[in-house]
Chains A and B, each alone.
Chain A
């Protein structure tokens, strides 16, 4: 371990021991650079406002994109350093910390391990592309570009911090920073009521999850005696001081956090609303930052809490009745699978191009969560990577479409765009095929490995869930192709007089083509790995080796066959229906209107939450307010205590004058002054009340004098 750098030595003088490795310093700068850029932009903006000017948009976009570019470079350098120096069978954990809360084991700790490096690489590539795209997208008449880039940088920095976090408290801090920066980005058009409402909704839904996460941290602290460092917990698990059963409650509580952040059932309502933000925000939020944070946290904690190599061995030994274990894994898998199905159904009926993508994100996140719950952490991460790529591509394409159609998001007002927007059409087609899970595209391989992981696990109802997800894959393929057909093929339904669709400018096309080629490259890489003899290139296996997880591959080939059968037939069905038999489709739809209505109301999940707020929480608040004003304050304090005191004073004054009149002693004088004070409360001559302090002092002196002299006590 290298010596701590000088800057940290200075810190040491204030707060105590600092232990940091060279790689950790790189990781720290990866986080700091965009964060400092964000702070700089914000202050620069207010300085310019103060001078009565607007910040030059070019300047802010250069700072915004530049800082992300530097950090992306740093994370690639870090990855190279790590893999050059530490190639070995089991993962190496490099971690370093600076003090946070003194006297506890809560520190600012960063950790570099394969999981964080891979996630950081995904973020570096996708984040950079999205920032480049945004630097052009936002140039056309969008207000306050400086604020936009400041929060985009902050958002990305928070995600980097979350990825590199080395203990639960650091994770939690960056987790919340992700939440708050998403709040500002979703509510970017803050003068619009719907945007600020959407931001608030996102933040509050996340907050519910955060409380679960927080309690999860506390339960871990109880187990480990206050230690929340991932490496320390891993040590405790490996030495057998703590067993998997101990972590059942913590991981379930932390899953609540992931439910909020990764928009699982029943807290998925905020994600579609989050579309209120500018499209680059949606792209970033859906691909590699916000929603992936929840899943990343789950993977991180599963790999920390449980001995991953024995994961499958421990899974079946505990039943519903003897321990918590099975429910934890099972609950996560079930909720994930349910979310996958509900998301796909909502995407099927939606007509807003961005919402379709949002619902499909919910659905794909459900897949990933269910994989993690079944212990298939490496397949889950596999799908995180492929989903991050094709989903960011889809959003960038959707952004280009919306941009060129003058901010129309309704797919029914599109159609036939392919001949006008070839680049967008082709790239979006690639993204949708990947999403649909058509072999040999990336989405197919990763999705199938998750389904296989569930099938081979021992969660309750694994077979049912496996088939549920296969059916969901059919629906996924169907809605993907439906979207492609309705937007790019068929008749042209857009307003031809106002809109001339064309491909976007170069600066926006570069990220499209770039990310699309990434999808293609990924697909190629993923596919090659399954060719016999080239197993060493298999990305899934590489991930498994890096994480030290080796899920069973039994039934792999059957899984591929069934999976491709369902997804291809789903895709073909969609194309066939929309192209050849629209009338039949319409007839089917007419019969299922009730179902469509149910789906469009989002299964009344959101409505129930709103109902709870409107009919339970708010009336409670109102009742408590009334109680506080009228009972505690008015009745008890004013009417009983104060009025009572006044009446006592009046009475004693009368008693004093009528009965003990003439008897002059200290006690009577005191009573009289109290009485006078009470009587004058109504006429409010201010001066006299300053004397109350003196009265108190007199009481004090007399009281101790009496107690002392008479030995009362």
Chain B
């Protein structure tokens, strides 16, 4: 094994291994567990940045023959003619998401400092969750992928149910059952893939096998379409897109704010990642998406994406709970990912990938702000009708809040804009969505920009501006570990807004290598 491969394995397993010492450290002295967690995440962050600076920062990464880097591929177990490999590796799709996970976990571990109840379990679960997430992004075997995919649910479920808000039990169960049912649908798709791909779960060989079987006429377009739609439904629930979105407002609102940040920043990205990796990357070589059935699929995706942009935006307009509004805005923004995929051109895929990063930085920041507002009000409320004049009491945090609001509303110079602009330009330059019968799809999606700006600015006007209301009268200024994480996320949103090329060159290369040479 090369040192880089070892590093990748350490990044993956260290947090899970450390979750046990973290728990016992917390039993010994409560505050120990939080510093163990900080230490562990810091170590993995440093390690990931070593990899990042080594291969992804200067120039472009050079992948091996299968298109990956740092590949670990050993046989895990064989049962009958089923061979499961422990196959890990990163490419231009997964590495930025790994880095995103590092950043989001590093900042949310600090904003978890307000938790004083059962800290030991919290940080143990937290580290365990991290391994699950990274594993989802870097496993190259569908079996392994599925295991990590399911593992993520468990700690998240407990985080919601143990540290959540009033209605946490309902929200946690809903989240768990909903996403689990979706996983089962996805599983059928995966099994079909296994069947049609010469009985292998290995993604790299599956991709080649599906292509050769398709060319040999062993798979029809209809069968591909069936596979695609099964995995699509599986992933779209995680995305989530209308009409499978209703778990999200509940889960996000009830989860503790670091949990909401991880949900919005990373768990939604699992859906995006899965759809791109399994729904697109594995089968796009066959040319499925340019067949007439593929066109129909893209139209349906476009409709779902456009509806998912404007419909939650309108619902967000009528929210009084700040966190719930941000939750609905998350659904709305993830619509760009689906629309970019539906456009299925170079711009669109770039948009989808970049939106995952942009949204993964901005929405956790906003959720953290909502959490801080909650902790500083007298009755621990986020009701925008009774919380006002935040700027008088928490000036710096208010500035960050307004900044992130504009970042999320797609202000140029900040990360959200790049994704939004790429996404819409991909639709307007695709041959499919510019046809007179379908041009209403991008137009509807585009109109959501105005609605988005409306609900965000209205919220800012109510929460941040105006005179101090009773709820905030005795509020203290935010602490360093409260505003610090938000500040880091805001800075990154600015960096990727001005120089998106830093990360987007990797996406662009990946899209060129895998889809549109």
Residues of A within 8 A of B (CB): 11, 13-16, 42, 46, 49-50, 99-104, 106, 169, 172-177, 180, 183, 187, 190-191, 193, 196-197, 200, 203-204, 207-208, 210-211, 214-215, 217-219, 221-222, 226, 617-618, 620-622, 624-625, 628, 632-633, 636-637, 642, 645, 681, 684, 686, 689-690, 692-693, 696-697, 699-700, 703-705, 707-708, 713
B95 to chain A, nearest CB (A): 16
Bound-state Cα–Cα, A203 to B450, Å = 10
CA distance A222 to B442 in the complex (A): 15
* CB contact between B58 and one of A13, A693, A708 (< 8 Å): that residue: A13
> Is B47 an interface residue when CB atoms closer than 8 A count as contact?
no
| B502 interfacial by beta-carbon distance below 8 Å | yes
| Chain B, interface SS category | helix
Q: Which of A101, A175, A617, A699 has the most CB of B within 10 A?
A: A101
Q: Please tell me if the beta carbons of B424 and A218 are within 8 angstroms of each other in the complex.
A: yes
Knowing A191-B466, A693-B150 are in contact, say whether A628-B425 is a contact too (CB < 8 A).
no
On chain A, the residues within 8 Å of B187 by CB distance are: 696, 699-700, 703
Which of A187, A219, A226, A693 is in CB contact (< 8 Å) with B151? A693
Contact between A633 and B246, CB atoms less than 8 A apart = yes
Q: Which B339-375 residues have a C-beta within 8 angstroms of A?
A: 346-347, 350
Contacts of B454 in A (CB 8 A): 204
The answer for the CA separation of A618 and B318 in the assembled complex, in Å, is 8
CB-CB under 8 A from B58, the residues of chain A are 13-14
Chain B 148-171 interface 0/1 with A at a Cβ cutoff of 8 Å (1 = within):
001101100110010000000100
Whether the pair A102, B151 counts as a contact (CB closer than 8 A) is no
Q: Which residue of B lies closest to A147 (CB)?
A: B399
The residues of B that contact A697 with a CB separation of less than 8 Å are 147, 150
Given A196-B461, A696-B184, check contact A226 B450 (CB 8 Å).
Answer: no
CA A421 – CA B508 in complex, angstroms? Answer: 64
Return A254 CB to nearest CB of chain B, in Å: 14
B465 and A196 contact, CB distance less than 8 A: yes
Query: If the complex has contacts A102-B504, A190-B391, are A173 and B412 also in contact, measured as CB distance less than 8 A?
Result: yes
Q: Are A214 and B446 in contact (CB under 8 A)?
A: yes
> Could you give 20 example pairs across A and B, Cβ below 8 Å?
A13-B58, A14-B499, A16-B505, A49-B395, A103-B508, A104-B350, A180-B406, A196-B465, A214-B449, A217-B425, A218-B424, A219-B428, A617-B317, A637-B178, A681-B173, A689-B157, A693-B153, A700-B187, A700-B191, A707-B191
By the criterion CB–CB under 8 Å, are B177 and A642 in contact? yes
Among B121-175, those with CB < 8 Å from A are 146-147, 150-151, 153-154, 157-158, 161, 169, 173
When distances are taken between beta carbons in the complex, the residues of chain A under 8 Å from B178 are 637
Question: Contact residues of B with A, CB < 8 Å?
Answer: 57-59, 80-82, 146-147, 150-151, 153-154, 157-158, 161, 169, 173, 176-178, 180-181, 183-184, 187-188, 191-192, 194-195, 199, 242-243, 246, 311, 314-315, 317-319, 346-347, 350, 389, 391-392, 395-396, 399, 406, 411-413, 417-418, 421-422, 424-425, 428-429, 434, 443, 446-447, 449-451, 453-454, 457-458, 461, 464-467, 499-502, 504-505, 508, 511-512
> Which B residues lie within 8 Å of A49 (CB)?
395-396
Q: CA of A705 to CA of B79 in the docked complex: distance in angstroms? A: 10
CB closest residue in chain A, given B162: A686
A211 B195 Cβ-Cβ under 8 A: no
B501 partner, pick from A42, A101, A203, A696, beta carbons under 8 A:
A101
Interchain CB contact under 8 A, B154 and A211? no
Known: A42-B399, A50-B396, A697-B150. Contact between A15 and B446, CB under 8 A?
no
Say whether A180 contacts B399, CB under 8 Å: no
5 A-B pairs with the lowest CB-CB distances in the bound complex, closest first: A103-B508, A218-B428, A173-B412, A15-B501, A633-B246
Residues of B within 8 A of A645 (CB): 177, 181
> How long is the Cα–Cα vector from A693 to B184 in the complex, in angstroms?
11
Q: Cβ of A221 and Cβ of B429 under 8 Å apart?
A: yes
With a cutoff of 8 Å between Cβ atoms, the chain B residues found around residue A207 in the complex are 449-450, 453
Q: How far is the CA of A174 from the CA of B177 in the complex (A)?
A: 46
Chain A residues near B465 (CB-CB < 8 A): 187, 190-191, 196
On chain B, the residues within 8 Å of A191 by CB distance are: 389, 391-392, 465-467
Inter-chain contact A218/B453, CB cutoff 8 Å: no
In the complex, A625 Cα to B80 Cα: how many Å? 52
Q: For the complex formed, measure the closest distance between the CB of B271 and the CB atoms of chain A, giving whole angstroms.
A: 17
Q: Given A689-B157, A707-B191: A15 and B311 within 8 A (CB)? A: no
B residues near A632, Cβ cutoff 8 Å = 242-243, 246
A169 in contact with B450 (CB, 8 Å): no
Are B424 and A204 within 8 A (Cβ)? no
Known: A13-B58, A102-B508, A632-B243. 14 other contacts (CB 8 A): A11-B499, A14-B499, A15-B505, A46-B395, A46-B396, A49-B395, A49-B396, A102-B505, A104-B350, A169-B421, A196-B465, A681-B177, A686-B158, A703-B191
Residues of B within 8 A of A693 (CB): 150-151, 153-154, 180
Question: How many Å lie between the Cα of A686 and that of B157 in the bound state?
Answer: 9
Q: Nearest residue in A to B177 (C-beta to C-beta)?
A: A642
A102 and B195 within 8 A (CB)? no
Most chain-A Cβ atoms within 10 A of its Cβ — which of B59, B318, B395?
Answer: B318
Cα distance A15–B58 in the bound complex, in angstroms: 8
Q: Are A221 and B425 in contact (CB under 8 A)?
A: yes
Complex Cα distance, B457 from A210, in Å, reads 16
- Which one, B242, B422, B502, contacts A15 given CB within 8 A? B502
Q: Chain A residues near B154 (CB, 8 Å)? A: 690, 693
Q: Are B467 and A699 in contact (CB under 8 A)?
A: no
**Minimum C-beta distance from A172 to chain B (A):** 6
Given A46-B395, A218-B429 in contact, is the A197-B501 Cβ separation under 8 Å? Answer: no
Q: A632-B243, A708-B80 are in contact. Are A684 and B169 (CB under 8 A)?
A: yes
Q: Which residues does chain A contribute within 8 Å of B350, judged by CB atoms?
A: 101, 103-104
In Å, the complex CA distance between A101 and B424 comes to 14
CB within 8 Å for A200 and B412 given contacts A46-B395, A628-B246: no
